[in-house]
A and B are shown apart, each in its own frame.
Chain A
Amino acid sequence: MTGMKKKKLISNFITYGIVIIAFIIVQIMQSTGNLSSMMTGLLVPLCVYVVLAVSLNLVVGISGELSLGHAGFMCIGAFAGAFFSKCTQNTITVGGLRFFLALLIGAAFAALFGLLIGIPVLRLKGDYLAIVTLAFGEIIKNVINVFYVGVDSHGVHVSMKDQFSLGMEPDGMLILNGPQGITGTPKDASFLAGIILILVTLFVVLNLIDSRDGRAIKSIRDNRIAAESIGINITKYKLMAFTVSAALAGAAGSLYAHNLATLQAKKFDYNLSILALVFVVLGGIGNIRGSVIAAVVLTALPELLRDMAEYRMLIYAIVLIVMMIFNWAPKALEWRERYLGRFFRKSVKEGK
């Protein structure tokens, strides 16, 4: 094994380790009663955002394409998963199994849409791709917003007008109620499930990056023309990155849906996509561990600052700006190289 490989392996294990240690610490805090109810309520969303950030980093950092529609894939995953759980609430009584299937279904639907949307939009590059993905994200949200779906003994009823035009029998169950979304999804999500999803996501992304396919994806990012000249199929690998990323975002959405009493499409707007992008940029484009940390810090920060009341969003913004400058400004990089380089020489030089 070359030195580089060993280093990568160690780096990956540190990433898994951070997640596992975070889990253990939270468990201890919870059992000793040191965790505020606010933080307890935040645990599952934290996992959701971490998975979302890591999945987006696969597109933005590894594949090098700017996608602003990630909330859309999360939305599809959330609704597909919640829909499934509501329908099978009475048939599959084992919560764990039902939730596992709901995650898979969320991921599968998001992957399907990732593939379908990816085929046309990945012909574009850079800013153009960003704008088109943004549009698709909004379209997904708005389309789900107008659907009414119900189930009765005659089967599934679908309408785009209102819930009364479904024409259901009185014993029918309304599942998707337009802008009101899905209510009463079984609360299957737990912090443990979230941590497992994070670990699975990290496993998939880190190993994919470091395989033959990942190499192809990165080579296309670095130089498309050269990648083509050595026989790498550009469309195939761009779609692969996009689809895998969409699937993981879909699983994150499904996790999210099973933590809420009411799931509404309007929550998956472009603000969420931008938030995910902030996690990725702040943590370091292409740096998977950075995405995990950035997602946790930026999600937990507003809650930790709750005591400061009106100043908290101000502090949040300042922290964001300072971290961004420290991480990315050329002068700051130079400074880091000079003073911290002594300790982190290798990671600064070779890490991305």
Chain B
Amino acid sequence: MSGTSAFLEGLKAGLGEFVPMWALWLGSALISVAIALGLISLIAMFSVWLERKVAGHIQCRYGPMYVGWHGWLQSIADGVKLLLKEDLIPRDADRVLFMLAPALVLAAIVGAMAAYPLAPGILFADIDLGLFFIIAMSSMTTIGVVMAGWASNSKWTIYGSMREAAQVVAYEIPLGVSLLVPVMVAGTLNLREASAAQADFFGMGWFMFKNPFMLPAFLLFLVAALAETKRAPFDLPEAESELVAGFMTEYSGIRWSFFFMEEYAAMFLMSAIGAVFFLGGFESPLTHLAGQLFGRDLVVVGAGPEFAFTAINWGALVYQLVAGGTLLVKSFLGIFLMMWLRWTLPRIRIDQVMTMGYKYLTPLALVCVLGAALWEAGWQALVRS
């Protein structure tokens, strides 16, 4: 049973007599949005700090050191600064679209966050099409970016947004197709179920090791995810040496920071998808051990006669935390990889980006899908015979 519905059931059991069901539903939805937004802000702040530290240490310096221990409060200080900055809207800009674009970008990424499983039993929404939902929602941000570029009424921003549109269209295909490989093995698009399917071999039954076509698919996914999240070496939409700041050139203050938050949240979600569909998701030997020791189900439904749920297995909370932490660590390892690449590699040119996406990644991803499908079919035929 998913977290939200269990939460709703609990609320219904406790408050059902006093509050109508729709109000409970709305209330829990609002709380979920608030939590998702808070989570995105936290992830973005931590990632910005991490990025600066990683960049610093790669470049023979320390990065932020003054605000707090090793500058850990730097992101908060920057956030306050951004809130206090003047909110500039260029005179010739399309005011409505200009103001709408960052909001759309942020809304899309908060929506995508809904499918992120915090822990096996603690979710915002247990969506059966979770993967599809995340990819669809994070593609929505592209509309916001193109909108921002157009509304700013500047040539540089137009360049940025056209590049973004071209790049995302080119890389959406290999991204989706390379994700089909683990989806085919898992037989589900649900992130929680896909993760649970990797629990064998003491939590090391990762999809990565289950099929010889999985490793190339993972590499293709990595490259496509970099392009999808506008990260170096594919950071052409905001290539600062070419386009000043690309589509963000005219933005300042808190609106600018919305784009920034979106970038880091998108990085996080892409890493999380990669972690769930290739690297075992919640599963690791440690998760396995915690599951064995404390049990896995947080809420034991129908354990008593009086309520919809009566027993909460508090011990399973340890398991849930370990599982959630495992996914978080794996996601941040993905983010670290993206940062590492960014501060090491030069930028690719736009025609090279297009060539790579259409001529190499897409055919290779299709080959991977075909190979994995044949392999799975052969494997199952072998098992059945």
The answer to whether A binds B is no
